[in-house]
């Protein structure tokens, strides 16, 4: 078995293959594993490549993680907030909190709009805009969700699929309002579902442990895939670094679909290539600030829907683990979504730092004299953009790829889904289980360049 890509999705396949004694090799193009799920170091500071966290959505996967990390996997209960007009508002949205921050008149107007949306738009969630207005009403959707999503995904919300919401948007309804009013903070905590699991030295511990379990012999770094050779509905071999060709009985790819298709030899037809090129991926620039300050806030993440602010989200690593910052100090990590090679992606580091710094100071989150360092990191192909018609584009592409009997895909970019670490683990488990059930044992072919 050959696995293309050494991020969490590829390493998960390797992990389960190793558990069941299936020979495999993970090929990673760079000199490190982890993909876009890593932990950086800056002096004594540590910070992740985004506001990553591990949710207990698949109990068997969570149990696997506890064993893999040797119980270095603590449950963290930290809230998230939206920064709106100089105020912090709970996210997911909480009725009592909204009422206190917006004021009674605005809150009840929003409530009437929500009732109207539920009556008039029920069952018409064709776009994310429809879905957000139906879930929260026009005012709340416009305040907190529509503009934010346009910044995050780079498209108007009317062109985005409802699938971008995942399972994170909880409706504002009378039941939740009454429950919060009667039970107070306990009900609010349950509604916000802020708890998650996290390794003490950063999210990068997960791919590091997965790689360690796979073993040195199971992973090859600096092994960039340059060609995927196929014949008679089977992947026969992959070419590495333009020179080495390795035969295979089964391939699992976590590479972006458009890259995979462009490397196929022979190439797919024009229509398939055209559709694959139309699939969009969003990249992320991280700007981290290291502060001579005990703490900025208690939030796991803070969201910024204001269209005049370049970034969408910040997180404070120390609120995930005290080991992420030295004693008496903290850091803020800012996420700026963009397209690969657009003007923002190409912006010089010093300009990015100055632009973000001024907004954070204006928001009162830090002062200039508290900054003791900063750094910029760029993360290409962070996640697929789920446009309103993305499934129509994907259907022929998947149909073409499904013709190859020894080929499977995993991960955000490989499957073109917006998933999380627990999803990657579950995909890896299912792929390996399917491989075992099929008991694939096809003779490898010898290829020469």
User: For every one of its 449 residues, what pLDDT tens digit does the chain have, with 9 covering 90 and above?
Assistant: 999 999 999 999 999 999 999 999 999 999 999 999 999 999 999 999 999 999 888 899 999 999 999 889 999 988 889 998 888 988 877 777 778 888 888 877 877 877 777 677 555 678 999 888 888 888 888 888 899 999 999 999 999 998 887 655 555 554 554 454 444 545 454 444 468 999 999 999 999 999 999 999 999 999 999 999 999 999 999 999 999 999 999 999 999 999 999 999 999 999 999 999 999 999 999 999 999 999 999 998 999 999 889 999 999 999 999 999 999 999 999 999 999 989 999 999 999 999 999 999 999 999 999 999 999 999 999 999 999 989 999 999 999 999 999 999 999 999 999 889 999 999 999 999 999 988 655 333 333 33
Q: How far apart are CA 284 and CA 54, in angstroms?
A: 20
Q: What is the pLDDT of residue 66?
A: 94
Contact between residue 197 and residue 2 where contact means Cβ atoms under 8 Å apart:
no
Token couple for 226:
């340059």
SS3 136: helix
Give the max Cα distance, the chain. Answer: 74
Query: Can you name the residues that pair with 198 across neighbouring β-strands?
Result: 74
List the 219-220 sheet strands across, edge first: 219-220, 25-27, 2-4, 251-253, 407-409
Q: Which of 154, 175, 162, 311 is nearest to 141 (CA)?
A: 162
Q: How far apart are CA 200 and CA 409, in angstroms?
A: 31
Contact between residue 254 and residue 410 where contact means Cβ atoms under 8 Å apart:
yes
Burial of 275 (0-12, 13-18, 19+ CB in 10 A): buried
Q: What is the dihedral of CA 9, 223, 206, 216, to 10 degrees?
A: 120
Contact between residue 25 and residue 220 where contact means Cβ atoms under 8 Å apart:
yes
Contact between residue 11 and residue 210 where contact means Cβ atoms under 8 Å apart:
yes
Q: How far apart are CA 297 and CA 319, in angstroms?
A: 8
Q: What is the pLDDT of residue 443?
A: 36
Q: Which of 421, 428, 163, 397 is nearest to 259 (CA)?
A: 397
Q: Which of 16, 423, 208 is nearest to 1 (CA)?
A: 16
Count the Cβ atoms, other than its own, within 10 Å of residue 216.
8
Q: What is the pLDDT of residue 447?
A: 34
């Amino acid at each position: 078995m050959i696995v293309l890509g050494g991020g969490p999705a590829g390493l998960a396949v390797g992990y389960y293959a190793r558990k069941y004694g299936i020979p495999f090799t993970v090929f990673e193009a760079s000199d490190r594993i982890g993909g876009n799920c890593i932990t950086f170091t800056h002096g004594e500071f540590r910070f992740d490549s985004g506001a990553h966290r591990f949710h207990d959505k698949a109990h068997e996967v969570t149990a696997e993680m506890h064993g893999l990390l040797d119980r270095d996997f603590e449950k963290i209960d930290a809230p998230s907030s939206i920064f709106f007009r100089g105020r912090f508002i709970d996210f997911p949205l909480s009725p009592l909190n909204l009422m206190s921050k917006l004021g009674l008149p605005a809150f009840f107007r929003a409530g009437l709009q929500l009732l109207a949306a539920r009556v008039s738009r029920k069952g018409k969630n064709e776009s994310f805009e429809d879905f957000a207005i139906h879930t929260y009403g026009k005012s709340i959707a416009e305040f907190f969700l529509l503009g934010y999503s346009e910044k995050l995904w780079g498209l108007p919300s009317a062109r985005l699929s409802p699938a971008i919401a995942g399972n994170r948007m909880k409706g504002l309804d009378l039941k939740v309002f009454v429950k919060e009013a009667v039970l107070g903070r306990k009900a609010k905590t349950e509604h916000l579902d802020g708890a998650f699991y996290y390794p003490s030295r950063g999210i990068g511990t997960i791919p590091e442990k997965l790689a360690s379990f796979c073993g040195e012999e199971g992973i090859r770094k600096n092994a960039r895939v340059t060609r995927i050779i196929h014949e008679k509905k089977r992947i026969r071999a992959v070419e590495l670094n333009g020179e080495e060709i390795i035969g295979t009985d089964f391939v699992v790819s976590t590479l972006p679909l458009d890259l995979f298709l462009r490397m196929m030899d022979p190439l797919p037809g024009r229509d398939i290539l055209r559709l694959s090129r139309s699939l969009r991926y969003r990249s992320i620039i991280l700007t981290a600030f290291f502060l001579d300050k005990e703490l900025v806030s208690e939030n796991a993440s803070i969201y910024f829907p204001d269209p005049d602010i370049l970034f969408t989200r910040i997180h404070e690593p120390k609120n995930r683990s005290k080991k992420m910052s030295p004693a008496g100090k903290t850091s803020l990590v800012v996420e700026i979504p963009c397209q690969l090679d657009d003007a923002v992606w190409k912006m010089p580091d010093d300009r990015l730092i100055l632009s973000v710094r001024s907004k954070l100071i204006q928001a009162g989150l830090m002062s200039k004299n508290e900054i003791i360092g900063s750094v910029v990191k760029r993360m290409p192909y962070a996640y697929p953009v789920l446009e309103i018609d993305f499934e129509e584009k994907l259907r022929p592409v998947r149909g073409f790829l499904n013709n190859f009997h020894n080929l499977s895909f995993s991960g955000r970019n490989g499957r073109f889904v917006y998933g999380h670490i627990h999803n990657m683990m579950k995909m890896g488990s299912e792929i390996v289980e399917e491989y075992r059930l099929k008991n694939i044992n096809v003779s490898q072919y010898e290829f020469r360049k």
